[in-house]
Amino acid sequence: MQTLVSILSQGVSLGAVYLLGALGLTIIYGVMGVVNLAHGDLIMLGSYVVALTASALGYPVAVVLAVVGVGAFGWLLDAVLIRFLYDKPVASMLGTWGVAMAIRQAVTLLFGTELRYVALPIGGSLAVGFGATMGWWRIVLVAGAALAAGAVAFVMLRTTLGLQMRAVISQPAAAAGLGLRAAQVNRWTFALGCALAGLAGALVAPLRTVFPGMGLPYLVGAFLVVVLAGLGNVGSTVAWSLAIGLGFAAVAVPAGDTVANIVVWCAALAIIAARRTSVAVARV
């Protein structure tokens, strides 16, 4: 029973981290057809903003700075580079991978490779029953991921930008023909996706380790979710994040992370193979 409760709580917590990483990636890919391989390093940027400002300004202000700062960085990035890569998945992979390396090396140059410290804003843990516990910060992570998913769903379904985003996703030519300014929609979508990466980085920083190379595992996890969940669909992204988190925890709690990685990735490969789609053709 303790193992089962541990799996559930750890699975939900892992799912929240997957979801935080995947949300930004999925709307960018869905709307713009850009495979953003810099997403992990944008998460790293969010963590660095918090690591550098939290002790001076307090953690809540640092989170706002991370979201706004990485979002603004994304807006600029779209203006100077990404807009040339729309709907070219292969070129966008190469281009954003270059951006990823540039970000990582710039951070290394400016701040060095040493590990950074972000104090846990809320310590301690909650007994969730049967001898299992869940750290309060993991609960905050889950709440933060749920809020972010809710906010993205709200933007997609209830705002003009969301309506335009959905129009660009489903009928790009018709949307342009109706006078939709796709360039503006794309720019704000990319900024929103980057802001979500900033939020992800800000929320995981206190629990994980902050250093220039930290972004890659988040990118890989987010990709797994996006490939399985399809693009631009918030509900499906939430469901697959949870499924992967729970599936991973179900193996990792009793058998260790190495075995869990093997099982989860083999399962993902089997699902993708059964669907006969790939990253390059997944866009409908």
Q: Which residues form the interface with other proteins (CB under 8 A)? A: 2-3, 6-7, 9-10, 13-14, 17, 108, 112-117, 119-120, 123-125, 127, 131-138, 206-209, 211, 213-214, 216-217, 248-249, 252-254, 256-258, 260
Rounded CA-CA distance 7/254 in Å is 9
Rounded CA-CA distance 183/179 in Å is 11
Q: Look at residue 134 and give its three-state secondary structure.
A: strand
Rounded CA-CA distance 14/20 in Å is 10
Cβ proximity to other proteins, 32 vs 139, nearer residue: 139
How near is the Cβ of 239 to other proteins at its closest, in Å?
Answer: 21
Cβ proximity to other proteins, 117 vs 154, nearer residue: 117
How near is the Cβ of 139 to other proteins at its closest, in Å?
Answer: 10
How near is the Cβ of 93 to other proteins at its closest, in Å?
Answer: 22
Q: Residue 253 forms beta bridges with which residues?
A: none
How near is the Cβ of 208 to other proteins at its closest, in Å?
Answer: 4
- Spell out the residues 6+ positions from residue 133 whose beta carbon is closer than 8 angstroms to its own: 9, 125, 126, 127
Phi-psi region of 35 (alpha: psi -120 to 50; beta: other; left: phi over 0): beta
How near is the Cβ of 29 to other proteins at its closest, in Å?
Answer: 24
How near is the Cβ of 26 to other proteins at its closest, in Å?
Answer: 21
- Spell out the residues 6+ positions from residue 194 whose beta carbon is closer than 8 angstroms to its own: 24, 42, 70, 71, 73, 74, 75, 77
Cβ proximity to other proteins, 44 vs 85, nearer residue: 44
Cβ proximity to other proteins, 161 vs 207, nearer residue: 207
Cβ proximity to other proteins, 37 vs 118, nearer residue: 118
Query: Could you say which DSSP state residue 164 is in?
Result: H
Cβ proximity to other proteins, 131 vs 150, nearer residue: 131
